[in-house]
Amino acid sequence: MVKKHGLKVQAVMSFHQCGGNVGDSCFIPLPRWAVEEIDRDPDLAYTDKNGRRNYEYLSLGCDTMPVLKGRSPVQVYADYMRSFRDTFRNYLGDCIVEIQVGMGPAGELRYPSYPESNGTWRFPGIGEFQCYDKYMLSSLKAAATAIGKPEWGLGGPRDAGCYNNWPEDSDFFRRDGGWSSPYGEFFLHWYSGLLLAHGERILTSAEGVFRHTGVKLSGKVAGIHWHYGSRSHPAELTAGYYNTRLRDGYHPIAAMFGRHGVVLNFTCIEMKDYEQPAEARCSPENLIKQVVLAARKAGVSVAGENALPRYDEGAHKQVVRNSRLTFQDDPHGVVYEPMCAFTFLRMNQTLFQGDNWRLFVSFVRQMAAGKTHNEWEEEHRASELVHATNPLVQEAAAALA
Q: Active-site residue 56, yes or no?
A: no
Give yes or no for a contact between 149 and 185, defined as CB atoms under 8 angstroms apart: no
Helix axes 182-210, 73-87, angle to 10 degrees: 30
Q: Active-site residue 275, yes or no?
A: no
> Could you give the C-alpha distances from 297 to 199, 251, 290, in angstroms and in order?
19, 8, 11
For residue 310, count other CB atoms closer than 10 A to its CB.
Answer: 18
Q: Which one of the listed residues 56, 128, 236, 305 is annotated catalytic?
A: 305
Q: Which one of the listed residues 108, 128, 270, 285 is annotated catalytic?
A: 108
Region of 354 (left: φ > 0; alpha: ψ -120 to 50; beta: rest) is left
Helix (H) or strand (E) holding 366: helix 356-369
Q: Which of 213, 207, 241 is nearest to 227 (CA)?
A: 241
> Could you give the C-alpha distances from 376 to 65, 239, 382, in angstroms and in order?
61, 45, 10
Instruction: Kindly report whether the peptide bond that precedes residue 124 is cis, defined as omega within 30 degrees of 0.
Output: yes
Return the SS3 of 230. Answer: coil
Helix axes 284-297, 251-259, angle to 10 degrees: 40
Instruction: Kindly report whether the peptide bond that precedes residue 346 is cis, defined as omega within 30 degrees of 0.
Output: yes
Task: List, by residue number, the catalytic residues.
Answer: 108, 305
